[in-house]
C-alpha cells in the first residue's frame, strides 16, 4: 500500500493491495490480516485528515471502523473485508455488538456505525467495493431505530426468549464457520 504525503496533508493516490491477502485461513493468517487491516485503517485515518477532519474526528471514525473490522468481520466471522456481504453490518449492530458488549447502548454503537460507513465510503473511493455495496452498507448503518429496538428487546428477554430474539437477526445466516468466536 502506498500513499504520497505532501505539505502536512496526505495526497489522494491509488492504494495498491492484493485483496486475497485479506482472507484469513490459518491461525497465522488472522495475525497477518489484522496487520493488513491496521495498515489500511491508518491510510483511512490519514485520508480523513487530508479531507479536513481534525485528528480527533478522524480517530473517532477510524476507531469505529476498527472495532467492526478486526473484532467482528475478521476475528469472529473470518471474512475478507472486500467480500461484499449484504446484511453484515446488521448482524454486527443488531446482534453481535449487543451480546458481546457489557452495557450495549446507542451512545456507544452509533459512533461505530458512523466509522463503518465512512470506512466503506473510503473503500468505494479506492474502487475496492462497488457503489451498490456502499449504498447497502450506508443503509444498514443508518438503521438506528432498529438497533435501538434490538438493544431494548435484548434487555427485556425473559426465560427462553433469547433464541427467539437471536433468530430475528441471527449471526448464523451467512456464517462462514471459520470465525474464532
179 within domain boundaries? no
What are the Cα distances from residue 31, in Å, to 17, 25, 28, 36, 54?
17, 11, 6, 9, 30
Per-residue pLDDT for the chain (181 aa), expressed as one digit of tens each? 433 444 444 445 667 888 889 998 888 889 999 999 999 999 999 999 999 999 999 999 999 999 999 999 999 999 999 999 999 999 999 999 999 999 999 999 999 999 999 999 999 999 999 999 999 999 999 999 999 999 999 999 999 999 999 999 998 855 443 333 3
The pTM (predicted TM-score) of the whole model is 0.87
16 within domain boundaries? no
8 within domain boundaries? no
86 within domain boundaries? yes
Give the total number of structural domains in the chain: 1
1 within domain boundaries? no
What are the Cα distances from residue 130, in Å, to 62, 116, 124, 142, 144?
21, 15, 6, 18, 23
Please give the residue range of the domain that contains residue 162. Answer: 25-168
Amino acid at each position: 500500500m502506498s500513499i504520497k504525503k505532501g505539505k502536512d496533508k496526505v495526497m489522494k493516490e491509488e492504494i495498491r493491495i492484493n485483496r486475497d491477502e485479506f482472507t484469513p485461513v490459518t491461525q497465522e493468517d488472522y495475525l497477518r490480516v489484522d496487520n493488513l487491516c491496521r495498515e489500511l485503517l491508518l491510510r483511512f485515518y490519514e485520508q480523513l485528515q487530508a479531507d479536513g477532519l481534525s485528528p480527533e474526528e478522524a480517530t473517532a471514525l477510524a476507531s469505529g471502523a476498527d472495532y467492526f473490522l478486526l473484532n467482528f468481520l475478521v476475528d469472529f466471522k473470518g471474512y475478507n473485508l472486500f467480500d461484499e456481504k449484504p446484511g453484515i453490518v446488521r448482524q454486527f449492530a443488531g446482534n453481535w455488538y449487543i451480546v458481546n458488549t457489557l452495557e450495549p447502548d446507542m451512545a456507544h454503537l452509533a459512533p461505530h456505525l458512523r466509522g463503518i460507513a465512512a470506512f466503506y465510503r473510503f473503500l468505494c473511493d479506492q474502487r475496492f467495493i462497488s457503489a451498490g455495496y456502499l449504498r447497502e452498507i450506508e443503509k444498514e448503518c443508518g438503521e438506528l431505530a432498529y438497533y435501538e429496538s434490538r438493544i431494548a428487546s435484548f434487555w427485556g428477554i425473559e426465560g427462553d426468549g433469547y433464541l427467539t430474539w437471536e433468530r430475528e437477526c441471527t449471526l448464523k445466516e451467512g456464517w462462514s464457520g471459520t470465525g474464532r468466536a
